Amino acid sequence: MDVSCPSCAEDEALRGSKVEAGIDLTCEACGHRWLRDPAPRCPRCGGSDLQTVPLAILEKGRGTQLSVVGTRPVDLCTDCDAATLDRYHRNRPNPLMPDELPTSAE
């Protein structure tokens, strides 16, 4: 999750401490202080109703063979990503396949 100062856009010189309501952040560049909720939110609608699902990490082997070499968790919004979540739930227990497939051996 990218975090930057809402006042000056600094993203390196930030200091934070955990408090009951979230994370109290201070920008060491401009001195701005703000409270951040650590719960993930949808970047499109701002909603908090997210589901974490495994996304396949693929590598292209010999010929046209694709291999799942691992997974990484992704948060999907139940509103904005409804079609993708439906596709994942129909194919469980398999991980969600990426939208773009590798085209050549790396």
69 and 24 in a single domain? The answer is no
pLDDT digits (tens, 9 = 90+) for 11-65: 999 999 999 888 999 999 999 999 988 888 898 998 999 999 999 999 887 777 8
- Could you tell me if 48 and 79 lie in one domain? yes
28 shares a domain with 52: no
Whether residues 47 and 2 fall in one domain: no
Number of domains in the chain: 2
pLDDT for the residue 11: 93
Query: What does the H/E/C string look like for the chain?
Result: CCCCCCCCCCCCCEEEEEECCEEEEEECCCCCEEEECCCCCCCCCCCCCEEEEEEEEEEECCCCCEEEEEEEEEEEECCCCHHHHHHHHHCCCCCECCCCCCCCCC
Residues 27 and 75 in one domain: no
Amino acid at 23: I
User: Once rounded to an integer, what is the mean pLDDT over residues 72-76?
Assistant: 95
Confidence band for 106, pLDDT divided at 50, 70 and 90: very low
Instruction: Determine the structural domain holding residue 91 and report its residue range.
Output: 42-106
Asked if 53 and 19 sit in the same domain, the reply is: no
Residues 24, 64, single domain; the answer is no
One domain for residues 48 and 80:
yes
